[in-house]
Amino acid sequence: MPVLYVVTGPPAGGKSSWIQSHATARDIVIDLDLITRALSGPGAPAWNQDPNQLRVAHRARYAAMDEAFALRDKVDVYLIHTMPSRKALAKYRRLEARIVTVDPGRDIVMQRIDAMRDPAMRRVATRWYRQRPTTSQTAMPQASRAW
């Protein structure tokens, strides 16, 4: 039976890597970073945070989500959503999604951001750790868990 996976976690936490190790070529993967990269011109940074390109990428992501949710009974769908709101989580639960949290731990995340991401992502990661679900709902470091 096909599954909708919603993969959450801090920036640089390993969400894309988790999907790469679980998804197949026939699955649908909705990753804002990949969408932004696909919509950016040559030479754009891999972790592009240009506001105009992100705006277009967000619109493309929402359209992809709508279409993929309609197909979730035919194919596995993997959606990266770093910090879903309560409303979004409620929708995902109505869709019977498996929520997966990928979190290798704050220290590792901050090291990864310093090494390969825009420094502004430190603020996003800090917010993620401040707002994350309670321990009973969050994956253990370097692991993931569906709730």
CB-side neighbour CA atoms (13 Å) of 82: 15
Ordered structural domains, the chain, with CATH: 4-146 (3.40.50.300)
Q: How many Å apart are CA 113 and CA 122, to the nearest integer?
A: 7
pLDDT of residue 136: 33
Q: pLDDT at residue 26 above 80?
A: yes
Task: Look at the alpha carbons of 3, 68, 81, 17 in this order and tell me if their dihedral is positive or negative.
Answer: positive
Q: Sorting pLDDT into bands at 50, 70 and 90, what band is 27?
A: very high
Question: Quick one: average pLDDT of 3-17?
Answer: 97
User: Tens of pLDDT along 128-145?
Assistant: 999 976 433 444 334 444
pLDDT of residue 133: 60
Q: Which 3 state secondary structure label does DSSP give 90?
A: helix
Judged on CB neighbours under 10 Å (0-12, 13-18, 19+), 23 is: middle
Q: How many Å apart are CA 114 and CA 120, to the nearest integer?
A: 10
- CA nearest to 85, candidates 6, 19, 29: 6
User: Tens of pLDDT along 71-125?
Assistant: 999 999 999 999 999 999 999 999 999 999 999 999 999 999 999 888 889 999 9
pTM of the entire structure?
Answer: 0.87
Q: How many Å apart are CA 86 and CA 18, to the nearest integer?
A: 23
